[in-house]
Amino acid sequence: MNRLLIIVWAAFSISAMALPQASEGSVGIDTLGKLDLNYVDVKQVSTVKKNVSTGTVSALPGAAFQIVAPMNPQQIDYLVVDGEYVIQGQRIATLSGSEVHHFRESLKAKEALRTLAKVRFEANKPLMDSHSISQATWFVIAQQFYDADLAWEHLNHFAKMFEPLQHDDKGYLLAAEAGVFRLPQPTNTTEGTLLGSILHTDSIRLTTQMSSVVVPQATTLVTHKCEVAIDNVEQVNHGLLIRVWSAPLPKTCSLQLGELVEVSVHLRLPALTVNATSVFYLNGQSAVFKLSGDTLDVVPVEIVGQSEGDSLLLREHPLLVGQKVLSSSVSAVQGILLGLGGIE
């Protein structure tokens, strides 16, 4: 965590440190002789870019579509690699073994039982409506149909992702939807075997942790490849740090899942920027020389950070907005102010 980031926010938050509204001394330009005097415009900025920490390209928790098989194939030959983008219906693995054969036979059996139960159900429904059979009899008929329907649907759900081969012990696993395929961790679920998962591209984000002090002002995360708006902020504090998530990563980011990148953040912090050469110190207080007609007025300033390049960030000051400040011969002018001698 960049400690300067916290210092920047603290400088904006402490109202007791309000700056004086009037200048503290001035120097007439006609007393500066032949000094080379150059000026720069004081610029206003609404956001400040600061380094945060390392970010990770990751998927939102719970976003993965899990591919669960109702059997445990003896052999799985993956046709795609971990992290590869797949399209719906694409062959992603070949499943082999006796368990595959058992699944195919079980699917046929459950489909046949469902068909028989459905015929019986539909044949007896008019009898139930006309009260020609007892409720107890109808209950048994209905329960048998619904049980058979659920048992068939449990296998048929996976069958939609399975392309059988002529060999009874083999078949292709198909991608149920488009996205990034992830290999599974070796584990079995209570309902079957996890064969992998598919991440929709919208779930792949950039995530990092930052100080809870600056999170309310954070707007975007910036890497060396792209800039993405902050979309989600977790409400759990990890030792004064809070995890934030970006919006979905555009293709232009060219970041891979799991990649670690240096991350900066844009903060909504109104400030002023001036060249570092414009700032000097007077009685322990940082200040600048503001051009006011034929004089250079001393205006105390509060440095709250460093911008890109050789610019400093200053807390907003009403006397400096839209003004020009001295950027050359600053030390010499300071000497004149302190009565260290005139300039020929």
How many angstroms separate the CA atoms of 111 and 156, rounded?
Answer: 9
Distances (CA, A) of 32 to 28, 198, 234, 278, 334: 7, 72, 57, 17, 11
Answer yes or no: is 37 within a domain: yes
Query: Distance of alpha carbon 149 from its chain centroid, rounded?
Result: 42
CATH number at residue 209: 2.40.30
Answer yes or no: is 185 within a domain: yes
Within this chain, do residues 275 and 258 fall inside the same structural domain, yes or no? no
Answer yes or no: is 343 within a domain: no
**Res. 210: pLDDT tops 80:** yes
Domain with 254 in it: 53-61+202-268
CATH number at residue 159: 1.10.287.470
Pairing, β 311-315 against β 170-174:
unpaired
Answer yes or no: is 342 within a domain: no
pLDDT in tens, 135-163: 999 999 999 999 999 999 999 999 999 99
**Res. 287: pLDDT tops 50:** yes
Within this chain, do residues 238 and 292 fall inside the same structural domain, yes or no? no
Three-state DSSP at 151 gives: helix
Looking at every residue in the chain, the average pLDDT score rounds to: 87
Answer yes or no: is 344 within a domain: no
Half-sphere exposure of 64 (CA within 13 A, CB side): 17
Within this chain, do residues 76 and 187 fall inside the same structural domain, yes or no? yes
Within this chain, do residues 99 and 163 fall inside the same structural domain, yes or no? yes
How many angstroms separate the CA atoms of 297 and 244, rounded?
Answer: 44
How many angstroms separate the CA atoms of 305 and 8, rounded?
Answer: 6
Pairing, β 192-199 against β 179-182:
antiparallel
**Res. 343: pLDDT tops 70:** no
Within this chain, do residues 74 and 179 fall inside the same structural domain, yes or no? yes
Instruction: State both tokens at 51.
Output: 């380094």
Average pLDDT over residues 252-273: 90
- Sorting pLDDT into bands at 50, 70 and 90, what band is 11? very low
One DSSP character per residue, 285-341 reads EEEEEEEETTEEEEEE--EEEE-STTEEEEE--TTTTT-EEE-SSHHHHHHHHTTS-
User: What residues form DSSP beta bridges with 182?
Assistant: 197
pTM confidence score: 0.69
Within this chain, do residues 133 and 213 fall inside the same structural domain, yes or no? no
Domain boundary (268, 285, 312) is at: 268
How many angstroms separate the CA atoms of 230 and 237, rounded?
Answer: 17
Domain boundary (199, 219, 249) is at: 199
Within this chain, do residues 178 and 93 fall inside the same structural domain, yes or no? yes
Among 81-90, 171-180, 299-308, the least confident range: 299-308
Within this chain, do residues 79 and 144 fall inside the same structural domain, yes or no? yes
Average pLDDT over residues 311-329: 91
How many angstroms separate the CA atoms of 101 and 184, rounded?
Answer: 23
**Res. 21: pLDDT tops 50:** no
By percentage, how much of the chain surpasses pLDDT 90? 67
Q: Which residues of 22-34 are buried (b: 16+ CB within 10 A; e: fewer)?
A: ebeebbebeebee
Answer yes or no: is 246 within a domain: yes
The pLDDT value recorded for residue 15 is 35
Within this chain, do residues 242 and 118 fall inside the same structural domain, yes or no? no
Within this chain, do residues 79 and 173 fall inside the same structural domain, yes or no? yes
Within this chain, do residues 137 and 186 fall inside the same structural domain, yes or no? yes
Quote the DSSP letter at residue 19: P
Answer yes or no: is 226 within a domain: yes
Centre a 10 Å sphere on the Cβ of residue 6 and count the other Cβ atoms it contains. 16
Helix 98-129 with 135-159: angle, nearest 10 deg: 150
Answer yes or no: is 290 within a domain: yes
Three-state DSSP at 65 gives: strand
Domain boundary (145, 177, 199) is at: 199
CATH number at residue 286: 2.40.420.20
Give the total number of structural domains in the chain.
Answer: 3
Within this chain, do residues 74 and 191 fall inside the same structural domain, yes or no? yes
Instruction: Identify the CA nearest to 229 among candidates 242, 240, 244.
Output: 244
Instruction: State both tokens at 18.
Output: 């309000």
